[in-house]
Structure 1
Amino acid sequence: MLWSDPEDEPPKDLRDMQETLRRLGLFMALAMILAMIVIGLR
């Protein structure tokens, strides 16, 4: 790899979007678990 090659890192907005999607996925998983518990307790 040459020193003049661009970095292999995605642009900042793409990284921000990936981080947001990861947080949203985690939140959705927690919400589903909570919903299952609530439904199970009824």
Structure 2
Amino acid sequence: MLWSDPKNEPPEELRQTQAMMRRVGLVLALAMVLAMFVVGLH
């Protein structure tokens, strides 16, 4: 690696997409837990 090489960072769009996917995954996980809780009550 040369000191002049660019930093190995993903472009802005990719970072935004990754952040969105992380949020979607979190919401899906919470929805799954809530659904199991509701099904467990019946």
TM-score (norm 2): 0.89
Structure 1 residue 3: deviation in Å? 3.5
**TM superposition outliers: structure 1 runs of 4+ over 3 Å:** none
Structure 2 stretches lacking a partner, 5+ long: none
Report the count of equivalent residues. 42
Which aligned pairs between 1:1-42 and structure 2 lie closer than 5 A?
1-42=1-42
Q: Which segments of 5 or more consecutive residues in structure 1 lack a partner in the other structure?
A: none
TM-score by length of 1: 0.89
Question: Taking every aligned residue pair, what percent have the same amino acid on both sides?
Answer: 62
| Aligned-residue RMSD, C-alpha | 0.8
